């Protein structure tokens, strides 16, 4: 069966292969654009008809992904569809579907599994299936392998199975899909070889590892490293504040050490689809081996306590002005999970808004990237963004700077807001009406 592998590798290298991307979100869409830009025919799959129609109309629905790039892709043959029978047309099937946590903080694999079950009848010999969604070590072997083999193919001979974790950083202009090295693990050496052939034309540097499990664990280590270090500086922030020390000054000073130190900055909590969620994939899987991941759980505890800390600082600030939080008007600046993006997933700003509302204050938000508060699984606000203008700022008792978008005029905010709770260290010069949180 060696010829299936050889034929597929040749097809991928000569760009004759059709690339199928399942899940056209923050990960799948940039990947589609990259393959399309270098000359592959790309087929996109999604279950959201609205997304499909937007993309087929040559429009982007993600703010930091330009419409002209999507238009160029559709012009050169990219099509999006909800018809999974067309999977048979693709030589490579790349899965970029969400892997959230359920309410018990356990992995919710339903998107990956329902996607695999939808693909299964349409898989054929001479295809490679690659999972990019972040997950626990063993997912590819335990969940994808049996489903792929139920299609009647032999993995490593007639069909190939790969795990290659996504490494997108939305809003970071220093990196593009192709400049971020790509880790690739295959179920067998032949699978890995096909995986490398799949990604090598599109990505500048490929990092092959010996198994899908090693690739799955690599992604978790990257995100746990961030979660633990952010937890550490968030804890240090609370200590430094109590001691009257500016933690941002300390971090900047420590960062001048040319070895052995990487600066991480505190904030109002963790957001996004990766850092607050992925560490718990390992926590969950480790239990099967009788192990407790104490570092991960502790950093999760510290990070999850940050929105409460910010609201405590807000209450202190209002108290200093002779006001209670109940009945006050509070404007939250920035509700996306990080600066300069429109992604709301797991945003600590939303939790801050809920805490403020629960304590009886009137809450509003300003975010140039999120004009209307979106429908979210667990949070609901009937709100639209308020412009952070001089007139509007003066009408609120306090503003909470939760996400430090570059589009905010921080000098204007400083001049016109009566009280600022700064959770991002944006204002370095002390002022009577600015409270660091």
Mean pLDDT of 40-62: 96
Where residue 412 sits, what CATH number does that domain have?
A: 3.40.50.720
Whether the Cβ atoms of residue 113 and residue 120 lie closer than 8 Å to each other: no
- C-alpha distances in Å from residue 101, one per residue of 133, 216, 273, 280, 385: 13, 17, 10, 8, 28
pLDDT at site 235: 97
Residues 187 and 314 in one domain: no
Mean pLDDT of 108-129: 96
Residues 136 and 7 in one domain: yes
**Is 235 within the bounds of a domain?**
no
**Is 249 within the bounds of a domain?**
no
Q: Which of 210, 239, 261 is the last residue of a domain?
A: 210
**Is 276 within the bounds of a domain?**
no
Q: How far apart are CA 385 and CA 331, in angstroms?
A: 10
- Stated as kind and residue range, the H or E segment containing 182 is strand 182-186
**Is 15 within the bounds of a domain?**
yes
**Is 154 within the bounds of a domain?**
yes
Q: How far apart are CA 283 and CA 294, in angstroms?
A: 9
- C-alpha distances in Å from residue 419, one per residue of 328, 334, 361, 367: 12, 16, 15, 18
Residues 182 and 314 in one domain: no
Is the sign of the CA dihedral 228, 232, 235, 241 positive or negative?
negative
**Is 237 within the bounds of a domain?**
no
* Residue 274: pLDDT band with limits 50, 70, 90: confident
Residues 192 and 58 in one domain: yes
Q: How far apart are CA 266 and CA 309, in angstroms?
A: 12
Q: How far apart are CA 8 and CA 17, in angstroms?
A: 8
pLDDT at site 2: 64
Residue 127: beta bridge partners?
159
Q: How far apart are CA 56 and CA 71, in angstroms?
A: 8
Q: Which SS3 state, helix, strand or coil, does residue 334 take?
A: coil
pLDDT at site 375: 86
Give the gyration radius of the chain's Cα atoms. Answer: 24
Q: Is the pLDDT of residue 148 over 80?
A: yes
Percent of the chain with pLDDT over 90: 90
Residue 365: beta bridge partners?
332
Residues 310 and 196 in one domain: no
Mean pLDDT of 411-426: 97
Q: pLDDT higher for 395 or 106?
A: 395
Q: How far apart are CA 385 and CA 334, in angstroms?
A: 9
* Residue 376: pLDDT band with limits 50, 70, 90: confident
Q: How far apart are CA 431 and CA 398, in angstroms?
A: 15
**Is 281 within the bounds of a domain?**
no
Q: Which of 190, 210, 230 is the last residue of a domain?
A: 210
Q: Please, which residues have CB within 8 angstroms of residue 358's CB and are 6 or more apart in sequence? A: none
**Average pLDDT over the chain, rounded to an integer:** 95
Q: How far apart are CA 246 and CA 290, in angstroms?
A: 41
pTM for the structure as a whole: 0.92
Mean pLDDT of 43-64: 95
pLDDT at site 379: 79
Residues 16 and 160 in one domain: yes
Percent of the chain with pLDDT over 70: 99
Q: Which SS3 state, helix, strand or coil, does residue 20 take?
A: strand
Active site members: 274
Q: Which of 159, 184, 210 is the last residue of a domain?
A: 210
Domain that holds residue 47: 2-210
Q: Is the pLDDT of residue 345 over 90?
A: no
**Is 285 within the bounds of a domain?**
no
User: What are 246-260's pLDDT values in tens digits?
Assistant: 999 999 999 999 999
Residues 41 and 161 in one domain: yes
> What is the total count of domains within the chain?
2
């Amino acid at each position: 069966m060696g010829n299936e592998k050889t034929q597929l590798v040749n097809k991928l290298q000569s760009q004759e292969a059709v690339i199928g991307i399942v899940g056209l979100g923050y990960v799948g869409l940039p990947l589609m654009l990259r393959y399309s830009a270098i000359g592959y025919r790309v087929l996109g799959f999604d279950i959201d008809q609205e997304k499909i129609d937007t993309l087929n109309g040559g429009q982007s629905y993600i703010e930091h992904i330009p419409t002209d790039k999507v238009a160029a892709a559709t012009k050169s043959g990219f099509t999006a569809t909800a018809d999974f029978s067309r999977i048979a047309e693709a030589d490579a099937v790349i899965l970029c579907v969400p892997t959230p946590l359920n309410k018990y903080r356990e992995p919710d694999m339903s998107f990956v599994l329902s996607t695999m079950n939808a693909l299964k009848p349409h898989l054929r010999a001479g295809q490679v299936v690659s999972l990019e969604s972040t997950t626990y070590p063993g997912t590819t072997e335990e969940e994808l392998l049996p489903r792929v083999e139920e299609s009647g193919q032999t993995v490593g001979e007639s069909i190939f199975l790969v795990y290659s974790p996504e490494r997108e950083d939305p809003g970071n202009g220093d990196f593009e899909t192709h400049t971020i090295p790509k880790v690739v693990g295959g179920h067998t050496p032949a699978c890995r070889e096909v995986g490398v052939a799949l990604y090598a034309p599109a990505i500048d540097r490929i990092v092959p590892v010996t198994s899908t499990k090693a690739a799955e664990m690599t992604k978790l280590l990257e995100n746990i490293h961030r979660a633990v270090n952010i937890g550490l500086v968030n804890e240090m922030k609370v200590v430094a504040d109590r001691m009257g020390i500016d933690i941002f000054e300390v971090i900047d000073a420590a960062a001048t050490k040319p070895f052995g130190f990487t600066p991480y900055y505190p904030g109002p909590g963790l957001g996004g689809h990766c850092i607050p969620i992925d560490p718990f994939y390992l926590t969950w899987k480790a239990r099967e081996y009788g192990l407790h991941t104490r570092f991960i759980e502790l950093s999760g505890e510290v990070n999850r306590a940050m929105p409460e800390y910010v609201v405590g600082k807000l209450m202190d600030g209002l108290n200093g002005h002779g006001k209670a939080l109940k009945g006050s008007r509070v404007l939250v600046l920035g509700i996306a999970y990080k600066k300069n993006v429109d992604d709301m997933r797991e945003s600590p700003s939303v939790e801050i808004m809920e805490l403020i509302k629960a304590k009886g204050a009137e809450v509003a938000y300003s975010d140039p990237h999120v004009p209307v508060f979106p429908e979210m699984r667990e949070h609901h606000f009937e709100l639209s963004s308020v412009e952070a203008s001089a007139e509007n700022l003066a009408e609120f008792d306090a503003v909470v700077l939760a996400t430090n978008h570059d589009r905010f005029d921080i000098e204007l905010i400083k001049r016109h807001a009566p009280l600022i709770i700064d959770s991002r260290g944006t204002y370095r010069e002390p002022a009577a009406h600015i409270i660091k949180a």
